[in-house]
Amino acid sequence: MEKNNSEIIEKLKLILKSMERLRESFRLEKEKVLEHPGFAELEKLRERSRFIYQMKVAEYLRDTKKLKIRIAHNQSQMEEAEDLAELCRDEAMQLQAHFVSTPNRLIRVYRAENPFD
């Protein structure tokens, strides 16, 4: 358990970096699929988004909530820790939306361009 707010801040920074790496991993996977797009490949991306990327974001969101609860309001760096927890939450919500909308949008575009595929 964290003893002070500076430890919480360090853990929140790690969560932010992890979310950045997750976003980059998704971008690379999406680009690989778009090199040779097909309905099956896009479906696979959507499934991976659901069961890998979105689940990981949910985990980061849970960790952020747990850390936010542990912020000591009678110690220094309280505001910084709370602001960072909010930033983590906002980033997680944006990532979640991105991981839901991007594969669906790509599939819609593919279907519009290839109606008989």
| Separation of alpha carbons 109 and 104, rounded Å | 9
Q: Any idea where the domains of the chain sit in the sequence?
A: 5-113
What is the per-residue pLDDT for 74? 87
pLDDT digits (tens, 9 = 90+) for 58-87: 999 999 999 999 999 888 899 999 999 999
Number of H helices, E strands in the chain: 4, 0
What is the per-residue pLDDT for 73? 87
Tokens coding 33? 């699929």
Predicted structure pTM score: 0.90
| Separation of alpha carbons 42 and 64, rounded Å | 31
